[in-house]
A and B are shown apart, each in its own frame.
Chain A
């Protein structure tokens, strides 16, 4: 089945099997390996991306369901070589150890801050309920999100995700290179 999806500002048209999960499409067809798979049960949230501006677990969405939609991954956050404020805050606050959960944590944190630009500690923990970290004990992750909130006022929201000046022309995956198939 043919789908057209805009990922990190670039439009892709590809033929996919209906059973292809969005996360596998991103990783194996488009080479967006920044988005990782951490579990087989939909619990861990490591594969979190934004689909039309809202966080989703990309292991629980079919690629065909994303037809006509806009996806933002962790790879689409930095602009002009500058980390997104939430990425920078994770770096500054040592909010990771092994780093495997980090792409999902950051994508969900951005979603949380779009809904609630100044969350207290409880709101951060609730907002990250769908993301598991087995290293940090969450303490520095919570700190990082609150730190990012301070750096992002007033409301960065979806605008902060948009890749400035990104190529919006249509390209097929094969011309982009990187990663399987």
Chain B
């Protein structure tokens, strides 16, 4: 099938994009990498009257350092995130999760910011962004504002972005040298995560000094596994300690039920995958 007709603009600055979005009203849609939007347009599950393509805005691409943060432009592709040396050094968790997104063709087009703004509960970059306490930099007609990841994701496919706002950058607190792993469970190649776990830890000698753990698809929004984090801190980095901490993974979660899994099974997966994710992070 082909999409329903729409008007198309490809502004070259964020200011122009925000103005175009404000002028177009609520039936407009922002196009980032298009790897979720175009399939939806094609089967006509969405039929926006206007598409504002961010693809020509050079200032939205790339990764830079700003003090103790990295700043990732929202239109930076998954492919570039996977290969970025700053991300590898200061936010390895983002790279490991991005490795698992879809397939190589999709990663060439799909973008970091597009995935986050789309807010699919099974999307693989939401939990890592939450685990690292990322901040979303948003621009609208009234200027820029910053929203913490914990406040940004509101519901299924719903964020705190207003209809006339664009996610322009993601600020990532540096987690320099923290080993990381993203453990994803799905049935077949290309499938979305049934459950996945993002984990990154800092060790001090043989002791776990800090831990960041968050869960994908265990609720309408990504969930921080605080119980696991607290149980890990101060523990020796042993298989037994990890196993005990991972038992807290499903606490307070409210996963959806679908043809793949019920609540009990998803909560079981969360515990098992959390153990694997932390072990793999520490081994890596």
- Report which A residues bind B (CB closer than 8 A): 1, 17-21, 24, 40-43, 45, 48, 51, 54-57, 59-62, 64-65, 108, 111-112, 127, 129-131
Contacts and interface: CB of A to CB of B under 8 A. Distances in A.
A17 B7 CA distance: 9
A172 to B, nearest CB: 21
Given A19-B5, A54-B79, A129-B189, A64 B34 contact: no
18 contacts: A17-B5, A19-B5, A21-B2, A21-B38, A42-B35, A45-B103, A45-B105, A56-B105, A56-B109, A57-B109, A59-B42, A60-B109, A64-B10, A65-B31, A129-B104, A129-B189, A130-B104, A130-B105
A130 B34 contact: no
Contact of B51 (A18, A48, A57): A18
Contact of A18 (B6, B109, B189, B190): B6
Contacts of B4: 19
Q: Among the interface residues A43, A48, A111, which one has the most CB atoms of the partner chain B within 10 A?
A: A43
Contact of B38 (A24, A42, A112): A42
Given A1-B8, A18-B6, A130-B105, 20 more contacts: A17-B5, A19-B2, A21-B42, A41-B39, A42-B38, A42-B39, A42-B106, A55-B104, A55-B105, A56-B105, A59-B38, A60-B34, A61-B34, A62-B53, A64-B53, A65-B55, A127-B104, A129-B103, A130-B102, A130-B106
Given A40-B43, A42-B35, A42-B39, A111 B104 contact: yes
A40 B42 CA distance: 8
Given A40-B43, A56-B105, A130-B106, A61 B2 contact: no
Nearest to B7: A18
B1 interface: yes
B2 A20 contact: yes
Nearest to B38: A60
Contacts of B105: 45, 48, 55-57, 60, 108, 130
A37 to B, nearest CB: 10
Given A21-B42, A40-B42, A61-B34, A55 B108 contact: yes
A108 B109 CA distance: 14
Contacts of A55: 104-105, 108
Interface residues of B, number: 30
| Most chain A CB inside 10 Å of its own CB: which residue of B39, B108, B109 | B108
Most chain A CB within 10 A, of B3, B55, B104, is at: B104
Contacts of B39: 41-42, 60
A54 B103 contact: no
Q: Which 6 residue pairs of A and B lie closest in terms of their CB atoms, listed nearest first?
A: A130-B103, A18-B8, A54-B108, A19-B3, A129-B103, A42-B39
Contacts of A59: 38, 42
Given A19-B3, A129-B189, A108 B104 contact: yes
B42 A57 contact: no
A72 B102 CA distance: 22
Interface in B50-76: 51, 53, 55
Q: Which residue, B7, B10, B79, has most C-beta atoms of chain A within 10 A? A: B10
Contacts of B108: 51, 54-56
Given A56-B109, A60-B109, A61-B34, A19 B6 contact: yes
A107 to B, nearest CB: 9
